[in-house]
Amino acid sequence: MLLSGGLDSTVCTALAARDHDALLTLSFDYGQRHRAELERAASIARHYGAEQLVVSIDASQWGGSALTDPAIAIPEAGTEGIPATYVPARNLIFLSVAMGVAEARDADVVVIGVNALDYSGYPDCRPEFVDSFRITAALALKRGVEGRPVTIETPLIDRTKADIVRLGVDVGAPLHLSWSCYRDGSVPCGECDACHLRAKGFAEASIADPALA
């Protein structure tokens, strides 16, 4: 389970814990400025008694994103096009590492909480990317050659944020532990795209955000 500690991956972790055995959460210390995420990911993994693997890969070495380069400001919500918070090839890299881990550990399933409806417009959250990645990963892995490719599940890909909030409540996901804000304050900023999308989801689901309680 690819677990960032955000809302979507927290709900997805709840689904993975419900549907699969022997859960391992995979999180990345990639030089992101909001360290809160990783602490939340650890708490969520503990909540489910999952093995937690944190892989370090310092994307600030090459930069190109507001999330890894302090010199690039986090934009307010609602900017046009692909925003400055886009991290080049992030999901491509994360899914690739997940494939390596899955093959090494003989895991049958990788779950990722990508969502292409209420999202920030990142190209590597789109279904066409994930579909193509499935094919590529099957060609890359020994398991693929052996005819038993690792399955990649994206249970949230076509859901609205409100749907995801409702689903999370239904399955008892620890939403109070999740962290969505792109900024690194002690409380969510309320103004970045991630805070905006999260607030929209809870508002449309008519549910109070337990992380703001």
For residues 147 and 127, give the distance between their C-alpha atoms in angstroms, rounded to a whole number: 23
CB of 149 to its own copies, least distance (A): 11
Token readout for 148 is 């038993």
129 binds its own copies (CB under 8 A): yes
- Do 124 and 131 form a contact (C-beta atoms < 8 A)? no
Rule CB under 8 A: say whether 61 interacts with its own copies: yes
58 counts as binding its own copies under rule CB under 8 A = yes
Q: Is 100 in the site for its own copies (CB under 8 A)?
A: yes
Handedness of CA 117, 122, 128, 129 (dihedral sign): negative
Beta bridge partners of 51: 24
Mapped onto helix, strand or coil, the DSSP state of residue 142 is helix
Which member of 3, 8, 67, 133 binds its own copies (CB under 8 A)?
A: 133
**Angle at the Cα of 58 from the Cα atoms of 52 and 64, rounded to 5 degrees:** 125
In whole angstroms, how close is the CB of 29 to its own copies at the nearest point?
A: 11
CB of 74 closer than 8 Å to CB of 87: no
Nearer to its own copies, 126 or 200 (CB): 126
Closest-CA residue to 13 (of 47, 37, 39): 47
Q: Cα–Cα–Cα angle for 49, 51, 52, nearest 5°?
A: 115
* Closer CB to its own copies, 103 or 204, in the complex: 103
Which residue in the set 21, 22, 49, 56 belongs to the binding site for its own copies (CB under 8 A)?
56
Which residues inside 153-212 make contact with its own copies, applying CB under 8 A? Answer: none
- Residue closer to its own copies (CB basis): 60 or 160: 60
Nearer to its own copies, 64 or 190 (CB): 64
C-alpha torsion angle, residues 29, 35, 38, 40 (rounded to 10):
-170
141 binds its own copies (CB under 8 A): yes
Choice between 98 and 167, CB closer to its own copies: 98
Q: Which residues bind its own copies (CB under 8 A)?
A: 53, 55-59, 61-65, 82, 86-93, 95-97, 99-105, 123-124, 126, 128-129, 132-133, 135-137, 139-142, 144-145
